[in-house]
Amino acid sequence: MRQICDPICDMESVLVIVGSGGDIEILHQIREKMGIEPHTRIAVSIFGGEILLRPDTVAAKLRMIDAMQGITAGLGSGTDMLLEDRRRERERDLREEAGSRSRTRAASNVPPAPTPAQ
Give tens-digit pLDDT for 31-48: 888 888 888 889 899 988
Q: Where are the domains of the chain?
A: 3-68, 74-106
Please compute the mean of the pLDDT values over residues 44-54 and round it to a whole number: 89
Predicted pLDDT at 19 = 93
Predicted pLDDT at 4 = 47
Rounded to the nearest angstrom, the gap between the alpha carbon of residue 8 and the centroid of all alpha carbons in its chain is 20
Structural class in CATH, domain 3-68: mainly beta
Which long-range contacts does 35-43 make (Cβ < 8 Å, 24+ apart)? Answer: 35/59, 35/60
Whether 36 contacts 47, CB under 8 Å: no
Predicted pLDDT at 11 = 59
Give tens-digit pLDDT for 65-117: 887 877 777 777 788 888 999 999 999 999 988 888 777 766 666 666 666 66
3 state SS for 8-41: CCCCCEECCCCCCCCCCCCCHHHHHHHCCCCCCC
